[in-house]
Amino acid sequence: MDCWWSGAASTQIILGKPRRVEGGRGDMGNSKVNPLDAALKRLESILGQASISARAAYLVTLRQQNAAALGDMIAREPVIRDAISEICTEWIETGKLNWIKDEDAQYFYDRLYYGEKMGLWLRSGDFQSHSKSADEILGWLLIDSWELVCLPLWKNELLDYD
């Protein structure tokens, strides 16, 4: 296990060894940029400023159309998890999105949405990266943290009808 980041009051959080994302766009050589800020800027560039309200509107529409669709989404997620992780990795490394099937696009968007949400939470806790690049942080936000951190939040939000 590697400790690869610390937050407020130098609290260290022990995580599994982070994914290695080769190449990529990173902070484009600007060593003064906080890698978390650079990662969040990349997420913002694809999500836009209205991601929270767009997500809320999507959930309302989905719930009104067909409640069974929510269960279907949750059941399908483990089947396409690796494919969505590969799409995330490619986007991190190249900054480009290849063709994504319509039914898979929402899963990719959800990864971005929850990655941004997690990143904003880390920033609010005064996250400081000591040695990781923006690409490595993006890899953790979008891929490594998905199953243990973001996936339960995603499921809870889908099933929360209040």
- Domains contained in the chain, number: 1
Distance CA 83, CA 14 (A): 27
Which regions of the chain are under pLDDT 50?
1-30
Identify the pLDDT of residue 103: 76
- Domain encompassing residue 44: 2-23+32-159
Residue 128: its pLDDT value, please? 80
Instruction: Quote the distance between the C-alpha of residue 49 and its chain's center.
Output: 16
Check residue 31 and give its pLDDT: 52
Note the pLDDT tens digit of each residue in 74-104: 999 999 999 999 999 999 999 888 778 877 8
Separation CA 26–CA 112 (nearest Å): 17
